[in-house]
Amino acid sequence: MSISEMGVEGRPVPELDPVSKHYWEATTRGELLVQECPSCGTRQFYPRALCKMCAKTPEWLKTAGRGKVHTFSIVRQNGNEPFKQWLPYAVVVVELEEGPRIMGNLVGSDVDDVHIGMEVSVDFVPLTDQASLPFWRATAPAVSDG
Amino acid sequence: MSARVPVIAGVGLSDYPKAPHLDAVGHHVLAFQRMLDDSGLEKKEIDGYMTAQGNFAAPDNGGTMAEYLGIDPRYYDGTAVGGSTFELYVQHAAAAIRDGQCEAIVMTYGSDLYTQSGTNPSFGAKQPGEVVPGALQYESPWGNTLIGAYAMAAQRHMYEYGTTSEQLAEIAVACRMHAGLNPNAQYRKPLTVEDVVNSRMIADPLHMLDCCVVSDGGGAILITTEERAKDLKQPPIYILGAAAAQTHWNIGQMPDYTVTAAARSGEKAFAQAGVRPEDIDTVQLYDSFTITALLMLEDLGFCKKGEGGPFVQTGALKLGGALPLNTDGGALSSCHPGMRGIFLLAEATRQLRHQAGDAQVEGAELALACGSGGWLSAMGTVILGRSTS
Ligand SMILES: [Zn+2]
């Protein structure tokens, strides 16, 4: 077993723009946002200034921060800092319960256990004062009330 | 006035796979000179120019490159969507020739990627703490690699269709077999499926030998009218179909990880050409990774979606098979200078001229080239023929 844990030090930093600043600001409160179109209902990620389907202006939608691994890769070679210190690590595309997909790192599991369909939950780690990074962890089995 | 029929009438490749004596501009120039020799066209006749360097600060940016080569274009294209750019250029050039915008269009490409860096370009941040704008700000923080992006497609294809690493390996094995017939190919020693699946894992499920090589290289292609080509040195190769499509740009946005835009570009190109996949004698597919070529074989209709794995195991892709693939050795074994699309066109043309020597697909009448740009994002499909019928 080697449990994948990754830090945030040295990671690329998002350049906040007029749209992304709302998304990243929410991450600092522990909220994962996607967008929903008030006109056609399309939900989308990444955030845009328009609905990618009908071009109307979308609204923000707070997600439950849960989803399933839609696809992934285990990166075993990357010469770039800071990532090379964390090899091997899992890059996942998570399909959120609300529909849109989002890329991230899955941590806290053995990379050999990562699989499509794996249920995951978000776990924010502060990167800067203005942005926290949404990591993903295997969703703990529900605790029985009995 | 009779219809203006677009043809490929000249091809030149610079030195590859390793050319420390050339810089990027030098590759453009050498390929250009060889294209002129190949075609017999007088340089002064060139009135259209296309190249894919959009960075104005680069010495080979489109405007500067036209100036350097001494071309004063009245038709110009600087579309840059990565590896498939040159297939898109064929689409644009064919339309421009038909429309009478110009008489002789040249596209050139040059790259000293191997000599400069020895590695394929990575995307997003390269320095710790680098600030990333735009759509990549949602992907770069996660340390995905170029190979990791394609691995995501392979992973999903395996999940949905049971495709195996051994099946993907067949593509690398076929390309290597053909590289053995190409004295310039970067790697020529025969490969087995076991060699591929036992090579180092780079990004699961892609092994080192599922990945293209890193090279220097360049190319130049001349597109003119059938009428003009009559007096030139080479038999004209007809552009029967040329179409493009894009589904996404960044890998995190790929709508279906098992289907590329080649499904749409291919359908259009086949309709234009009036032929079907079973009519094609050889395919030159962008094999940045084994999965790239596998997805294209399915998307272009050479087999059904999901059946690419069993299809490549039939041996169809090897010379002597029904659909020889990448008869120069492809990106997997011959050369990959960064944007390989022009090599697909050069090899398809070589096959249709029946100038491929030991790698000749006997009686080749129709060839298909399909480029992939970005992260399985922008696809360009070109169908070429020895004749118009
Ligand atoms: Zn909408």
Count how many residues are written for chain A.
Answer: 146
Domain assignment of residue A11, yes or no: no
What average pLDDT does the segment B83-93 reach?
98
In-domain check, residue A56: yes
Mean pLDDT of B83-109: 98
Residue B1 has what pLDDT? 54
How many A from CA of A66 to the centre of ligand 1? 24
The per-residue pLDDT for range A7-26, each reduced to its tens digit, is 999 999 999 999 999 999 99
Confidence class for position A142, pLDDT limits 50, 70, 90:
low
**A85 at the B interface (CB within 8 A)?**
no
For residue B203, give the nearest of A17, A73, A133 by CB distance.
Answer: A73
- For chain B, the residue count is 389
Tell me which residue range forms the domain holding A45. Answer: 16-138
∠ CA A3-B135-A86, nearest 5°, is 20
A/B interface, count of CB pairs below 8 Å: 114
**Are β-strands B237-246 and B6-13 bridged in parallel, bridged antiparallel, or unpaired?**
antiparallel
Q: Are A45 and B153 a contacting pair at CB < 8 A?
A: no
pLDDT at A80 over 80: yes
pLDDT at B263 over 80: yes
pLDDT band at A74 (very low <50, low <70, confident <90, very high): very high
From first CA to last CA, the distance across chain A in angstroms is 31
Helix axes B290-299, B262-273, angle to 10 degrees: 50
Q: How far apart are CA B379 and CA B245, in angstroms?
A: 5
At residue B53 the predicted structure's pLDDT band, cuts being 50, 70 and 90, is confident
Q: Do A75 and B148 touch (CB under 8 A)?
A: yes
Q: Do strands B48-50 and B75-77 pair parallel, antiparallel, or not at all (unpaired)?
A: parallel
Q: For residue B30, name the pLDDT band (cuts at 50, 70, 90).
A: very high
Chain B residues with CB inside 8 Å of A86's CB?
Answer: 143
Mean pLDDT over all residues of chain B? 96
Chain B closest-CA separation from residue A8 CA (Å): 9
Band (A4; pLDDT cuts 50, 70, 90) = confident
Residues A42-56 pLDDT 10s: 999 999 999 999 999
Mind telling me how many Å the CA of B69 is from chain A's nearest CA?
37
Q: Is the pTM here over 0.90, yes or no?
A: yes
Question: A103: which chain B residues are within 8 Å (Cβ-Cβ)?
Answer: 138-139, 142, 144, 251-252
Q: Which two tokens stand for residue B107?
A: 């596209």
Q: Which residues, including other chains, have CB under 8 Å from residue A23's CB and lie 6 or more apart?
A: A33, A46, A47
Question: What average pLDDT does this structure show over A94-113?
Answer: 98
Distances (CA, A) of A18 to A24, A25, A46, B100, B301: 11, 11, 13, 45, 43
> H helices of B198-279, where?
226-229, 262-273
Cα A116 to Cα A94, A113, A121, B276, distances in angstroms? 9, 10, 14, 35
Cβ-count burial B97-112 (b if 16+ within 10 Å, e if not): beeeebbbbbbbbbbb
Domains, in order of start, for chain B:
6-118+215-238 (3.40.47.10), 144-211+241-385 (3.40.47.10)
- Residue B86 scores a pLDDT above 80: yes
Closest to A45 measured CA to CA, from A100, A86, A88: A100
pLDDT bucket at B125, cuts 50 / 70 / 90: low
pLDDT category at B124 given cuts 50, 70, 90 is: low
ipTM: 0.96
- Answer yes or no: is A10 within a domain: no
Q: How many helices (H) and strands (E) does chain B have?
A: 12, 12
- The CATH number of the domain holding residue A83 is 2.40.50.840
What does the pLDDT read at residue A3?
82
> Would you say residue B164 has pLDDT above 70?
yes
A contacts of B144 (beta carbons < 8 Å): 73, 75, 91, 103
Q: Are B382 and B369 in contact (CB under 8 A)?
A: yes
Q: Is the distance from CB of A26 to CB of A19 less than 8 angstroms? A: no
Place of tokens 């298909």: B368
Instruction: Give phi and psi for A106, each to the nearest 5.
Output: -95, 120
Residue A94, in any domain of the structure: yes
Report residue A146's pLDDT band, with 50, 70 and 90 as the boundaries. very low
Q: Which long-range contacts (CB under 8 A, 24 or more apart) does B113-116 make?
A: B113/B214, B113/B215, B113/B216, B113/B337, B113/B338, B114/B17, B114/B18, B114/B214, B114/B215, B114/B216, B114/B337, B115/B18, B115/B19, B115/B20, B115/B22, B115/B23, B115/B216
For strands B282-285 and B75-77, give the pairing: unpaired
**Residue A3 falls within a domain, yes or no?**
no
What is the per-residue pLDDT across B171-211, written as a single tens digit (0 to 9) for each?
999 999 999 999 999 999 999 999 999 999 999 999 999 99
Task: Return the pLDDT at B120.
Answer: 61
How sure is the predictor about B382, in pLDDT bands with cuts at 50, 70 and 90? very high
What is the residue-averaged pLDDT of chain A? 95
**Are the beta carbons of A104 and A134 closer than 8 angstroms?**
yes
Cα dist from B104 to B51, B71, B74, B94, B116, whole Å: 15, 11, 10, 11, 33
Cα dihedral sign for B247, B258, B242, B73? positive
HSE, CB side, 13 Å, CA atoms: give it for residue A66.
5
Domain presence at residue A2: no
How many separate domains does chain A show?
A: 1
At B334, phi and psi to the nearest 5? -90, -65
Residue A9 lies in a domain: no
Q: Is residue A8 part of a domain?
A: no
Does residue A133 carry a pLDDT above 50?
Answer: yes
A118 touches chain B (CB under 8 A): no
How many C-beta neighbours within 10 Å does residue B208 have? 14
CB contact under 8 A, B143 and A11: yes
Q: What are phi and psi of A91, to 5 degrees?
A: -105, 120
Q: What's the pLDDT score for residue A2?
A: 73
Contact B319, B178 (CB under 8 A): yes
Mean of pLDDT values over B17-37: 97
Residues B291-299, mean pLDDT to the nearest whole number = 98
Q: Which residues contact B49 (CB under 8 A, 6 or more apart)?
A: B62, B65, B66, B69, B71, B73, B75, B76, B77, B105, B106, B107, B108
Provide the residue type at B199 as one letter.
S
Share of chain A above pLDDT 90, in %: 92
Q: Is the predicted pLDDT of residue A145 greater than 60, yes or no? A: no
Q: B125: which chain A residues are within 8 Å (Cβ-Cβ)?
A: 12, 80
Region of B272 (left: φ > 0; alpha: ψ -120 to 50; beta: rest) is: alpha
- The pLDDT of B326-336, averaged and rounded, is 98
d(CA B191, CA B359): 17
The number of beta carbons lying within 10 Å of the beta carbon of residue B230 is 10
Q: Do B142 and A70 touch (CB under 8 A)?
A: no
**How remote is the CA of residue A44 from the centroid of ligand 1, in Å?**
10
> Taking 60 as the threshold, does the pLDDT of residue B123 lie above it?
no
Per-residue pLDDT at B356 exceeds 70: yes
What the block records as the tokens of B92 is 């644009």
